[in-house]
Amino acid sequence: MEIARSKIGFSVSQRKYILDLLTETGKVKKDTGKPVETDRYQRLVGKLIYLSHTRPDIAFAVSMVIQHMHSPKEAHLEAVYKILRYLEGTSGKCLFFGKHQKKGVEIFTDADWARSIENRKSTTGYCTFVWGNMTTWRSKKQNVVARSSVEAKFRAVAQGICEGL
């Protein structure tokens, strides 16, 4: 992890980790139709989970591939490769924590309604800002099936409040 400081704040980057991961996977080639090895898939997704701690831009995509950790198919591995290709082009992105006049905590939440085709569960997403800097973010499938979009969004708000507390 690389940390750079300046008078206006500091940034956190995992550029070297991304580049090492891309080198390890052979510059992210498309799947050739071979069977998917569960161990390899789980190892790659585990590394993406680690990266998502400093890369909120991949958090949702990573949450989607996590759902297939126990029985990955070629399409799921292709989704992992798409994330890796995106990381290859954006390896220099980092989190920046700057000085702000705004003092306080803000939480933003959202949810889709019954988006999952497999079980009709909704997905909650939220992010927390402390003194103007994003400090936490999450995307997670809800535990129960919501009966309406309002219920799905209410559950998202409740999750965001719990994070704030």
pLDDT tens for the chain, 165 residues: list them. 788 888 888 888 888 888 788 777 655 443 445 558 999 999 999 999 999 888 888 987 898 889 889 888 888 999 999 999 999 999 988 888 888 888 899 999 988 887 776 788 888 888 889 988 888 888 788 888 988 888 989 989 998 888 888
Q: What is the pLDDT, as a whole number, of residue 32? A: 40
| Token pair for 117 | 């085709």
Q: What is the pLDDT, as a whole number, of residue 160? A: 87
Q: What is the pLDDT, as a whole number, of residue 26? A: 59
Between CA 82 and CA 84 the distance in angstroms is 5
On the CB side of 106, CA atoms within 13 Å amount to 8
Sheet (strand 9-13) strand order: 2-6, 9-13, 94-98
This prediction has a pTM of 0.65
Q: What is the pLDDT, as a whole number, of residue 8? A: 85
| Token pair for 115 | 């988006």
Q: What is the pLDDT, as a whole number, of residue 29? A: 43
The residue length of the chain stands at 165
Q: What is the pLDDT, as a whole number, of residue 48? A: 96
